[in-house]
Each structure stands twice: as C-alpha cells, then as structure tokens.
C-alpha cells in the first residue's frame, strides 16, 4: 500500500464530472490497483476514488492519471507532497468475528460448570460417524451429555443435535445420552422443537463467559 499526503486538486471525468479544489489530502494506492482520495473527516469514506481494474500513470508535472477500462479518469494534480511511503501488508487473514461458535465452544469447555454444578468435561469435538459433537460431558449424576453450540439457535441446529443423540445412544459405554442446545440466542421454534424432543436449552452470555462483566458466570 502506498500512502501519499499532498496538497492536491482532483478532477473526475466520466459519466459525470466532479472537481475537488486544492487542499491537503491523503491518497491511498492499494495493491489491488484502487486509488482513493481522503480528507481528515468522513470516517472511512473517500472524497473520490477509482475501483480496480484501473491503471495509474504518473506523468510529468506531478499529474497522476488513473483510468479504468470504461475510459473514466481520475486526474490528480499534486502541488506539494508532504509524505510518500509504501508498505507491504501481505495477505490479510480476514475478519475474525468476536463470539464465533469455535470460541464459544472453547470458553464453555473451559468453564463447563456453567451448565450446572457437578458437570465435567469428557472432550471437545467428540468424533462420530456423522461429524464431531461440540462438547461431550457428564452431569452431576454421571449421565453423558452432548452439547451443540450455535451463535444463533435455529431448528436446523436442533435437528443436528438430534442426529448426534440417536447415534451416541447406540454406544453402550455412553448411553443414555441427553442433549443440551446452547446458543447466544435461541429462536422460539427451535426451543419448542428441542423441548418436544427432551433436549435442554441454554442461552449463553458471551461476555460473562469471558469474565468481562463479573467473575460469576450467568445463564438466562
């Protein structure tokens, strides 16, 4: 990525025309070829830009011409360059959202007593012929419990847990196995279906699991 801070004027010529009078601005030239012009306001939104595919030509007299395949042009006239630097950012790993199912699984496994006093963890990602069960644990009575974790609990999650329970209950070393459907939010239809099938429902407080609000974990 190239960062240029310069006093410049900008003209756009295409389906419409636009003009930015001379002022100090930030010009971003990204590896994907895009060029955008920013002021010190408007948050992330640029004053003007050219999306890829496009080409940048730095001509004589400090005039940059950015042109796309449609012949539209962004003409940047540099009057004074105050900063010009390039930085290799590499491949971005993408956004990792807070509270995804894998993190919820990790937190709940680490604090399995959240499900009830006397609960103990058997293992995370317990393997079965139709896929891994998020958490397999035992309750205070030593009964096996399969836990399916979702960010948003819907009917398909209950159906998935039902299939796991049918398979796990065939194993004499585990049976009888009961189920818990755990999510940050459980849809009413999913709760009705789970209750009808004898599956418990637990709403997870993500902040409480992380210990942000207080040292005691809460379930609602």
Instruction: Walk along the chain (220 residues) and give the pLDDT tens digit of each residue.
Output: 999 999 999 999 987 889 999 999 999 999 888 999 999 987 778 999 998 889 999 987 799 999 998 899 999 999 999 999 999 888 766 545 445 788 889 999 999 999 999 999 999 999 998 889 999 999 999 999 999 999 899 999 999 999 999 999 999 999 999 999 999 999 999 999 999 999 999 999 888 888 754 444 444 3
Instruction: Name the CATH topology of 98-208.
Output: Trna Endonuclease; Chain: A, domain 1 (3.40.1350)
Kind of pairing, strands 177-186 and 144-153? parallel
Gap between the Cα atoms of 89 and 175, Å rounded: 52
User: How many angstroms separate the CA atoms of 164 and 181, rounded?
Assistant: 12
Q: Which residues of 39-75 are buried (b: 16+ CB within 10 A; e: fewer)?
A: eeeeeeebbbbbeeebebeeeeeeebebbbeeeeebb
CATH 2.70.180.20 maps onto the chain at 1-84
The confidence score (pLDDT) of residue 99 equals: 53
What pLDDT is attached to residue 93?
65
pLDDT of residue 96: 53
Contact 167, 177 (CB under 8 A): no
What's residue 86's pLDDT? 94
Q: Cβ(23)–Cβ(59) under 8 Å?
A: no
Range list for CATH 3.40.1350.10 in the chain: 98-208
* Residue 219: predicted pLDDT: 43
CATH code 2.70.180.20 for 1-84 = yes
81's tokens: 């360059």
């Amino acid at each position: 990525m190239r960062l240029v801070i310069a006093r410049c004027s900008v003209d756009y010529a295409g389906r419409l025309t636009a003009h930015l009078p001379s002022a100090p601005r930030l010009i971003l030239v990204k590896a994907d070829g895009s060029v955008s012009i920013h002021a010190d306001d408007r948050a992330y939104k640029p004053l003007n830009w050219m999306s890829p595919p496009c080409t940048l030509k730095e001509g004589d007299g400090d005039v940059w011409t950015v042109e796309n395949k449609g012949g539209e042009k962004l003409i940047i006239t540099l009057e004074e360059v105050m900063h010009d630097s390039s930085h290799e950012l590499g491949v971005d790993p993408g956004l990792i959202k807070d509270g995804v199912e894998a993190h919820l699984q990790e937190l709940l496994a680490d604090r399995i007593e959240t499900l009830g006093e006397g609960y103990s963890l058997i293992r995370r990602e317990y393997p079965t012929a139709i896929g891994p069960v998020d958490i397999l644990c035992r309750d205070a009575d030593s009964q096996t419990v399969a836990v399916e974790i979702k960010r948003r609990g819907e009917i398909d999650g209950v159906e998935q847990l039902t299939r796991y329970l049918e398979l796990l209950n065939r194993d004499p070393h585990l049976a009888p196995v009961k189920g818990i459907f755990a999510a940050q939010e459980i849809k009413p239809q999913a709760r009705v279906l789970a209750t009808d099938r004898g599956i418990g429902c637990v709403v997870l407080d993500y902040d409480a699991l992380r210990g942000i609000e207080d040292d005691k974990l809460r379930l609602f």
